[in-house]
Structures are given as C-alpha cells and as structure tokens.
Amino acid sequence: MKQNLQKQDWWVMWGLLFLGLVPVLAGLYRLATLSIAPQLASASDQRFFDHPLPIFLHAGFGTLFLVMGAFQFSRSFRRRWPGQHRVLGPWLALSGFVSAVSGLWMSVYYPLPDTDGWLLAVFRWIFGGLMTLSVVLGVVAILQKKIDRHRAWMTRAYAIGIGAGTQFFTHLPWLLIWGMPSETPRAWLMAAGWVINLAVAEWWLVHQRTSKARPVTLQSSLIKG
C-alpha cells in the first residue's frame, strides 16, 4: 500500500510538470523572441517591446513557480529532502507573487490584441487577483505555523498559475471542430481552464484532509469497540 501511494505521489509531480510544459515553453519562446530573435515576433507582440520588463518578470518567474511548485506537491520529495522543501518554499512564494502581479499589470496596461476583449480582461483580473491573494494568504499562514492552511492557499495559487496548461486542452476541441475561437468563446475557454484547475485543487484538498482523518477515525472506532 505504501509503495502504491509513493508511485501515485510521483505521478502527480510528473503530471504537473507535463501540464506546465505548455506555459513554460510559451514563456521561454516569448523571452527568446524578445531578446534573441525579434524577427519571429508577431504584430501583436509590439506591446512587449514597448514595455519588456513585465513580460520578462511574468514569464521568468512564472516558469520558476510552475517547475518548483510541482516538486512541492510530492510528499515523497518533501520527506526525502525536507531541507530542499524549506529552501524552495520562499522562492516559490516570491515567484508566484511576482508572476501574478506582473500578469495583472499586463492585463491593465498592455493594449489588448485582436483576439482578446474586455471579458477576457475581466477574467484575467479576477483570477490574477485570486492568485495574488492566495500567495499572500499562504505566506501569512506559514508565518503563523498553520501548515495545512498554507498548503491549501499555495495549492490554489498553483492551480491558477498552471491554468495555461489546462487552457490548451479546453481550446483543443474548439480548434479541431470550429477553428480559431473568436473573442467571446476564447474568453470562456480561458476561464474554463482556471475553473477546472481550482475545482480539481479543492477536490485534492478535501481528499488530503479525508486521508489524514481516516486513520484517526479508524483508531477511535477500534478503541470504542
């Protein structure tokens, strides 16, 4: 049983790394076009050349957040290397906060490309704000030694941060059937990715709480019996 749980634990970590591959590669490509190969940039990317710092912060720290965060979800990793978990924790919080805040800045100040609109901008403000708040509450919780609350808020922040990976899959059926989505369908497909991730995160948190409580409940029933 213990060996099966460890295998499942590692699969969760590798699954998160795979899901984060889309936003990580997209971010690295964006950084490459801005710094190395500007000729590959599209016309809508001119906004990034006008103000490059926010996109560099968003893509760079976002990559760190997604990669480091995947390891933090592995209990086997935390138990085997507890020191590494504590070292990565502050960097994870910092990278998540910078990624979220820079994303909010871009949503407010960058001109909207033709494929976006006010609805998607509102969704980005909502979920970007939730991600920022989740990181802040996660840091406050760990400073108060409230470990479970810390993990819950950081899980929610990570779920939003890795939303671009899920958004690839919410867009895929639409692309295959109807082609490139227009402004309103694209906004709802993007929102679906964030909502799905948050729903899975809440399910995971409930599952973790139930798993912790089950041995105690079983032990209590045995004592009473």
Rounded to an integer, what distance in angstroms lies between the CA atom of residue 219 and that of residue 204? 24
Under the banding of pLDDT at 50, 70 and 90, the label for residue 176 is very high
* Model confidence pLDDT, tens digit, residues 101-148: 999 999 999 988 878 889 999 999 999 999 999 999 999 999 999 999
The residue behind tokens 């295959």 is: 176
Q: What is the largest CA-CA distance in the chain?
A: 74
Residue percentage of the chain with pLDDT more than 70: 88
Domain ranges within the chain, ordered by starting residue: 2-224
Answer yes or no: is pLDDT of 215 > 70: no
pLDDT of 72:
83
pLDDT of 139:
96
Rounded to an integer, what distance in angstroms lies between the CA atom of residue 225 and that of residue 223? 5
pLDDT of 220:
44
The structure tokens listed for 86 are: 């504590």
Is-contact 131 157, C-beta < 8 A?
A: yes
Rounded mean pLDDT, 87-114: 92
Under the banding of pLDDT at 50, 70 and 90, the label for residue 74 is confident
Under the banding of pLDDT at 50, 70 and 90, the label for residue 212 is low
Note the pTM of the prediction, 2 decimals. Answer: 0.86
Residue percentage of the chain with pLDDT more than 90: 57
Answer yes or no: is pLDDT of 17 > 80: yes
Answer yes or no: is pLDDT of 183 > 90: yes
Torsion of CA 16, 18, 23, 28, to 10 degrees: 120
Average pLDDT over the chain, rounded to an integer: 86
